[in-house]
A and B are shown apart, each in its own frame.
Chain A
Amino acid sequence: MAADGGMGHATKRREDVRFLTGRGRYTDDYTPAKTTYCAFARSTVANGKINSIDTSAAAEMPGVVAVFTGEDFADVGGNPAGWLINSRDGEPMKEPKRPVLAHGKVRHVGDAYAAVIAETLEQAMDAVEAIDADIDELDAVTNMADALANTDTLVHDEIGTNQCFDWGWIEDNRAATDEAIKNAPHVTTLELVNNRLVPNAMEPRCSIGEYDPGTGDYRLTTTSQNPHLTRLLISAFVMGIPENKLTVHAPDVGGGFGSKIYHYGEEALVLAAAKKLNRPVKWTSTRTEAFLSDAHGRDHVTKIELACEKDGTFIAFRTETMANVGAYLSNFSTATPTFLHGTLMAGNYTVPNVYVNVKAVFTNTAPVDAYRGAGRPEATFSLERVIDKAARELGIDPVALRRKNFIKPDQYPYASAAGLEYDSGNYDALMDGLEKRADLAGFEARRAESAKNGKLRGLGINAYIEACGIAPSNLVGVLGSRVGLYDAATVRVNATGNISVMVGAHSHGQGHETAFPQVVADMLGVDPMSIEIVHGDTSKIPFGMGTYGSRSLAVCGSAVFRATEKIIKKATLIAAHMMEDKPENVDFTDGEFAVKGTNKKVSFGEVALKAYIPHNFPLESIEPGLEETAFYDPANFTYPSGAYACEVEVDPETGKVDICSMVAMDDFGNVVNPMIVTGQVQGGLAQGIGQALLEHGIYDENGQLLSGSLMDYAMPRADDLPNFVVDHSHATRCTHNPIGVKGCGEAGAIGSPPTVVNAVVDALQRGGHDVDHIDMPVSPARVWAAING
């Protein structure tokens, strides 16, 4: 049933009204009575031994109410990694403790070693300056190859190495892949860097701790994508607060992109301080602190080989990657370079042999974790760059080479050589669509036109597959996850017919408040505006695993779907009772229950009211009320895929790259709100182009972050981006979730970086420059240097 505003309708985002009129309520907007303010002392050296921290002068400063150091948290637990990865030799990964505050050693610039709580923020910041920390600077290690080779300089002395793990995927395929590459008629090799990114959500992190001595209840208001997981980590690992005595509330959140999935030490600190002081404690990150202490993204150094027949048939992919995990293991940091990366290394292709080796490396830099795409952009970039290079070496058109190796529509479900089972897709249809929407046939004419203006025009093609809708528990459990990955929803039909839906997914830009009601409205035949989404507060919602990995609609939306099915089932019982007939004789369509073959009917609203006024209910068979909860754990990841094209103009005089066009053909399965999906892809494309052309988190050899401000770290602006063509009309339904949807949140950031770099290399090649590869960001300096040898 297609109710107006139901599934498939481009309903405008209702939450935008409050965001666009300044009525959003973010964490920092909340200031409880008697709030105190927290400021952190952070290391200015990348590696240092803490000899002593004298806080006596700071404690005497005006307005200071407490000073904490690592010593105060020596006895509490560490912030753990969520995934256990075993090395090729079966040894578990090295997992050094990540303390609330640095203790004994500081391990990266920005590592917090003390905190001051004061009556005002200014007083707290002044007192931080009065802390006298005697820290001996030690040699730092920031380069991954150096970190592996040089065991004199250790990030964590107690583990005796800088290698966290040495992982092989799939280890049993190693020998066959080696053999296939050895005997292959053609092998293309490419070494590349996937540049480190600083997430830079518009809203910096912020946390407020509160404690009620009367009840013993803690409350943490915080910028989180994942309030239940934060509660679980604080309760089970770090502080031991019982889950039923801790509420975690993430109100409006101004962007996360991964960086707010994780639990951070600042959250534990404000809770501990709130209890000690019996007053609320607030900390709001500065932009500088965000640069230094938010989990960064990417930072892989990779060598990839593609073996193929002379006709271009793929035989094997073999990858060796070093993945930077920074100074401490952030919660998802061990999953990102492994199971979110290695399992995708067969791409969209019928390649029989895949082997991936990933060494995760500790360095004296900020922790690195999942950032929009998380592992899949790294996989796609490696694959699609080496395929492009192979196409050139073999003299085969890049589109034709990809098509030759695509998994065909009749091959699903398809077991990839990297261990996943793709449920659906049609890559040729996407490529057909791309050829039309991007007018590939007209490229030569456009190139000639650019050449007249002295510009080198290039065309970049890319195909991607990704695994998202991060779940299912059975699969992630096998892969090393220490948590289950499912989601939950409660649908509460109130007596007057309006509906509250409590969801475990957190909305911070994804439009859940608009899209989720479309699903429920469609099923119940009611006005979407009568449905309200409640999210982000652990005291209000049943449970949830949060929002990341393009999982909200596929996993939590499916939980909403299942809970709504239960509502219909129970409402049917009530309706049958009201119409004095058997439930099996009652049909539900367009918001009305009717007895088949009669004119007896009751509306959904009448049933809702009856549920709460059960004067004559058969109470042994029907409970009063109309509220249902569902936990949904899918059978598989979802596998969105796409074909992208980008055209660039390179100015050979300056090396400046202008993106002329970017066309994204994506298969997201069933689409609930096409406008929101288009917006998600556009945002992802902007971030992917940012990575490709502009962004780079750079540490010098001493571990100082050189691109540590928005003056030096280049974020994409509107005028760096073309008008995007976004098309998701070539859809194949996801076969295993009830809505048929695939995740769309990360696709743009996964598909676009290799498309852009392929286009730049193509432009240079067509311009007569023998350039195989340029590392991202493809800055004017790098392009100019490549042109000029």
Chain B
Amino acid sequence: MNLADAREIAAPRTVVWAAILDPEVLKTCIPGCKELTGTVEDGFEAIVVQKVGPVKATFKGEVEVSDIVAGESLTLTGQGKGGPAGFAKGAAKVSFADTDAGGTLLTYDVEAKVGGKLAQLGSRIIDGFTKKLADQFFERFQDGLEDPIEAEPEEENEEKPKKGWIGRMLG
């Protein structure tokens, strides 16, 4: 499964770049992320809960940031094992460019694959699901940068953070 998209963020490139390297930002933006520990240099460990079609699972896995060209591009790679549900792997190549309006154009290219029960039971819906996850991630990222005080969109029944992640970072 591959998908490519781009979005324009109304914030300067330096701010956007700093944000994406921030563990707190990653934690807030990764859909279903319950825990995220570690550093950019050593990689992160994450616990993510997701429901794909009929399969709900807790994924334990790693998130790595690589191919870092400061201010320009990086690759986010994640892989998680969901026990009997199988596994999910994904990589997003993200690049950053200035826009004429003084914002940042964020371009991303996502590749994802799933295995085990997720693939057997969810293959019909996995493409749509991957797109939803990627959209959610970058939407939250964008919202957090552009509108730091507003609560980010969250699914029902999940604990809603009171503020966007910049808001929280700013206290």
Q: Which residues of A contact B (CB under 8 A)?
A: 44-46, 109, 125, 128-129, 288, 291-292, 700, 702, 704-709, 711-712
- B14 CB to nearest chain A CB (Å): 37
- The answer to the question of B59 belonging to the interface, with a C-beta cut-off of 8 Å to chain A, is no
Nearest A residue to B124 via CB reads A712
Q: Which of A109, A129, A288, A706 contacts B123 (CB 8 A)?
A: A706
Chain A residues with Cβ below 8 Å from B84 are: 125, 128-129
Q: How does the 8 Å CB contact mask read for B83-105 relative to A, with 1 for contact and 0 for none? A: 11011000000000000000000
Chain B residues with Cβ below 8 Å from A125 are: 84
A704 and B114 form a contact (CB under 8 A): yes
A291 in contact with B115 given A44-B87, A129-B83, A129-B84 (CB within 8 Å): no
Nearest A residue to B126 via CB reads A706
A705 and B119 form a contact (CB under 8 A): yes
A704 and B120 form a contact (CB under 8 A): yes
A712 in contact with B123 given A702-B113, A704-B114, A704-B115 (CB within 8 Å): yes
Q: What CA separation (Å) do A44 and B120 show in the bound complex?
A: 10
**What are 16 pairs between A and B in contact, CB < 8 Å?**
A44-B86, A44-B87, A44-B115, A45-B115, A46-B115, A288-B117, A292-B120, A702-B113, A704-B113, A704-B119, A704-B123, A705-B119, A706-B119, A708-B121, A711-B124, A712-B121
Nearest B residue to A708 via CB reads B120
- A744 CB to nearest chain B CB (Å): 35
Nearest B residue to A133 via CB reads B81
Nearest A residue to B86 via CB reads A44
Chain A residues with Cβ below 8 Å from B121 are: 288, 708-709, 711-712
Q: A109-B119, A704-B113, A706-B119 are in contact. List 15 more A-B contacts (CB 8 A).
A: A44-B87, A46-B115, A109-B115, A109-B116, A129-B84, A288-B121, A291-B120, A702-B113, A702-B115, A704-B119, A705-B120, A707-B123, A708-B123, A711-B121, A712-B120
Chain B residues with Cβ below 8 Å from A704 are: 113-116, 119-120, 123
Chain A residues with Cβ below 8 Å from B124 are: 711-712
Chain B residues with Cβ below 8 Å from A707 are: 123
Chain A residues with Cβ below 8 Å from B117 are: 44, 288
Nearest B residue to A704 via CB reads B119
Q: What CA separation (Å) do A46 and B119 show in the bound complex?
A: 12
Nearest A residue to B115 via CB reads A44
- B74 CB to nearest chain A CB (Å): 23
Nearest A residue to B81 via CB reads A44
Nearest B residue to A711 via CB reads B121
A700 and B120 form a contact (CB under 8 A): no
Q: What CA separation (Å) do A125 and B84 show in the bound complex?
A: 9
B116 and A44 form a contact (CB under 8 A): yes
Chain A residues with Cβ below 8 Å from B113 are: 702, 704
Q: What CA separation (Å) do A700 and B84 show in the bound complex?
A: 20
Chain A residues with Cβ below 8 Å from B116 are: 44, 109, 704
- B161 CB to nearest chain A CB (Å): 31
Q: What CA separation (Å) do A705 and B113 show in the bound complex?
A: 13
Nearest A residue to B123 via CB reads A706
B115 and A706 form a contact (CB under 8 A): no
Nearest B residue to A42 via CB reads B116
Q: Which of B83, B87, B119 contacts A708 (CB 8 A)?
A: B119
**Which B residues from 94 to 148 make CB contacts under 8 A with A?**
113-117, 119-121, 123-124
Chain B residues with Cβ below 8 Å from A128 are: 84
Chain B residues with Cβ below 8 Å from A700 are: 119, 123
Chain A residues with Cβ below 8 Å from B123 are: 700, 704, 706-708, 712
Q: What CA separation (Å) do A45 and B81 show in the bound complex?
A: 11
Chain B residues with Cβ below 8 Å from A712 are: 120-121, 123-124
Q: What CA separation (Å) do A291 and B84 show in the bound complex?
A: 15
Q: What CA separation (Å) do A712 and B124 show in the bound complex?
A: 8
Chain A residues with Cβ below 8 Å from B83 are: 129
Q: What CA separation (Å) do A42 and B115 show in the bound complex?
A: 12
Greatest chain B CB density within 10 A among A44, A708, A711 is at: A44
Chain B residues with Cβ below 8 Å from A45 are: 87, 115
A709 and B119 form a contact (CB under 8 A): no
Q: List 9 tightest A-B contacts by C-beta distance, closest first.
A: A708-B120, A44-B116, A704-B119, A706-B123, A44-B86, A44-B115, A129-B83, A709-B121, A704-B115
Nearest B residue to A128 via CB reads B84
Chain A residues with Cβ below 8 Å from B115 are: 44-46, 109, 702, 704
Q: What CA separation (Å) do A702 and B115 show in the bound complex?
A: 8
Q: What CA separation (Å) do A702 and B113 show in the bound complex?
A: 9
Chain A residues with Cβ below 8 Å from B87 are: 44-45
- B76 CB to nearest chain A CB (Å): 19
Q: What CA separation (Å) do A705 and B114 show in the bound complex?
A: 11
Q: What CA separation (Å) do A459 and B113 show in the bound complex?
A: 43
- A294 CB to nearest chain B CB (Å): 14
- B82 CB to nearest chain A CB (Å): 9
Chain B residues with Cβ below 8 Å from A711 are: 121, 124
Chain B residues with Cβ below 8 Å from A702 are: 113, 115
Q: What CA separation (Å) do A706 and B113 show in the bound complex?
A: 12
Q: What CA separation (Å) do A702 and B86 show in the bound complex?
A: 13
Q: What CA separation (Å) do A704 and B121 show in the bound complex?
A: 11
Nearest B residue to A291 via CB reads B120
- B127 CB to nearest chain A CB (Å): 11
- B45 CB to nearest chain A CB (Å): 15
- A703 CB to nearest chain B CB (Å): 8
- A463 CB to nearest chain B CB (Å): 39
Q: What CA separation (Å) do A709 and B116 show in the bound complex?
A: 12
Q: What CA separation (Å) do A291 and B121 show in the bound complex?
A: 11
Q: What CA separation (Å) do A709 and B120 show in the bound complex?
A: 6
Nearest A residue to B1 via CB reads A700
Chain B residues with Cβ below 8 Å from A109 are: 115-116, 119
Q: What CA separation (Å) do A292 and B114 show in the bound complex?
A: 16
Q: What CA separation (Å) do A706 and B124 show in the bound complex?
A: 8
Q: What CA separation (Å) do A421 and B142 show in the bound complex?
A: 75
- B140 CB to nearest chain A CB (Å): 29
Q: What CA separation (Å) do A711 and B115 show in the bound complex?
A: 17
Chain B residues with Cβ below 8 Å from A706 are: 119-120, 123
- A198 CB to nearest chain B CB (Å): 11
Chain B residues with Cβ below 8 Å from A129 are: 83-84
A288 and B119 form a contact (CB under 8 A): no
Q: What CA separation (Å) do A454 and B77 show in the bound complex?
A: 53
Q: What CA separation (Å) do A128 and B84 show in the bound complex?
A: 8
Q: What CA separation (Å) do A706 and B118 show in the bound complex?
A: 9
- A136 CB to nearest chain B CB (Å): 12
- B37 CB to nearest chain A CB (Å): 19
Greatest chain A CB density within 10 A among B117, B119, B124 is at: B119
Q: What CA separation (Å) do A316 and B96 show in the bound complex?
A: 64
Chain A residues with Cβ below 8 Å from B114 are: 704
Q: What CA separation (Å) do A363 and B113 show in the bound complex?
A: 19
Q: What CA separation (Å) do A32 and B163 show in the bound complex?
A: 60
Q: What CA separation (Å) do A721 and B103 show in the bound complex?
A: 61
Q: What CA separation (Å) do A390 and B4 show in the bound complex?
A: 47
- A652 CB to nearest chain B CB (Å): 26
Q: What CA separation (Å) do A700 and B115 show in the bound complex?
A: 10
Q: What CA separation (Å) do A44 and B84 show in the bound complex?
A: 8
Q: What CA separation (Å) do A232 and B115 show in the bound complex?
A: 36
- A781 CB to nearest chain B CB (Å): 13
Q: What CA separation (Å) do A709 and B54 show in the bound complex?
A: 12
Chain B residues with Cβ below 8 Å from A46 are: 115
Q: What CA separation (Å) do A700 and B124 show in the bound complex?
A: 12
Q: What CA separation (Å) do A249 and B93 show in the bound complex?
A: 57
Q: What CA separation (Å) do A744 and B83 show in the bound complex?
A: 45
- A102 CB to nearest chain B CB (Å): 15
Greatest chain B CB density within 10 A among A125, A700, A704, A708 is at: A704
Q: What CA separation (Å) do A491 and B83 show in the bound complex?
A: 54
Q: What CA separation (Å) do A707 and B119 show in the bound complex?
A: 9
Q: What CA separation (Å) do A379 and B41 show in the bound complex?
A: 59
Chain A residues with Cβ below 8 Å from B120 are: 288, 291-292, 704-706, 708-709, 712
- A190 CB to nearest chain B CB (Å): 30
Nearest A residue to B87 via CB reads A44
Chain B residues with Cβ below 8 Å from A709 are: 120-121
- B78 CB to nearest chain A CB (Å): 14
- A677 CB to nearest chain B CB (Å): 37
